[in-house]
Amino acid sequence: MCNANPHQQTILNSINTYTTDYLVNFLTLHNFELSCMLKYGISPEKLNELDIELIRERVEKENISKEQMLEAGLTRTKIDKIFSIGGPVSSVSCPICEMTFESQENYMSYKQTCFTCFIPPPPPESNLIKQIKEGKANVLDIQDGLLEGTITTDELKIHCGLDDKLIQRIYSYSSEQMDTVDDINALPPLKKDRTDFYFFGMPSAGKSCLIASLLSHWMREGICNPEVSNPRGVKYFRILGGGFSKGILPRNNPNTFLDYIELTLSVTEEVGFFKKRNRKYDIPINILDMAGEKFKRVVETGPDSFDKHKNYLNNGNPKALFFVLDYSVDDGGVEAFEQSLNLVVLLNILKEMGILDESESIYLMVTKADMFDVPLSQYNDKAKEYVNTYYAQFKNRLEDLSDQFGFSWEVMPYSIGQCAFGQLLLDYNPNSNPHLKVFPEQVSDKIKEHTARYKRGIGGVFTN
Residue 363: its pLDDT value, please? 96
284 contacts 194 by C-beta, under 8 angstroms: yes
Residue 422: its pLDDT value, please? 86
Residue 86: its pLDDT value, please? 47
325 contacts 365 by C-beta, under 8 angstroms: yes
Which segments of 310-421 are extended strands (E)? Answer: 319-326, 359-367, 408-413, 419-420
End-to-end CA distance of the chain: 118
Beta-bridged to residue 279, according to DSSP, are: 269
Beta-bridged to residue 226, according to DSSP, are: 263
109: left (phi over 0), alpha (psi -120 to 50) or beta: alpha
Residue 35 identity (one-letter amino acid)? S
Tens-binned pLDDT, residue by residue, of the chain (464 aa)? 788 888 788 889 889 888 888 899 889 888 899 999 999 999 999 999 999 889 988 998 898 988 888 889 998 878 888 876 444 445 677 766 667 776 767 777 666 666 566 655 656 788 999 999 988 899 999 999 999 989 999 889 988 889 999 999 999 998 888 888 777 778 888 888 899 999 988 778 889 999 999 999 999 999 999 888 889 999 999 999 999 999 999 887 656 778 889 999 988 877 666 667 778 888 999 999 987 666 666 666 665 556 667 778 888 899 999 999 988 876 556 677 777 888 888 888 888 888 899 999 999 999 999 999 899 999 999 999 999 988 888 899 999 999 999 999 999 999 999 999 989 999 999 999 999 999 999 999 999 888 876 655 433 333 43
Instruction: Quote the radius of gyration of the chain (alpha carbons, Å).
Output: 39
Measured CA to CA, the distance from residue 139 to residue 116 in angstroms comes to 33
228 contacts 188 by C-beta, under 8 angstroms: no
Residue 3: its pLDDT value, please? 87
Q: CA neighbours within 13 Å on the CB side: how many for 217?
A: 21
Residue 309: its pLDDT value, please? 74
Which segments of 202-353 are extended strands (E)? Answer: 224-226, 258-271, 277-290, 319-326
- Domains, in order of start, for the chain: 6-89 (no CATH), 127-171 (no CATH), 184-460 (3.40.50.300)
Cα dihedral sign for 118, 124, 129, 134?
Answer: positive
Measured CA to CA, the distance from residue 296 to residue 332 in angstroms comes to 22
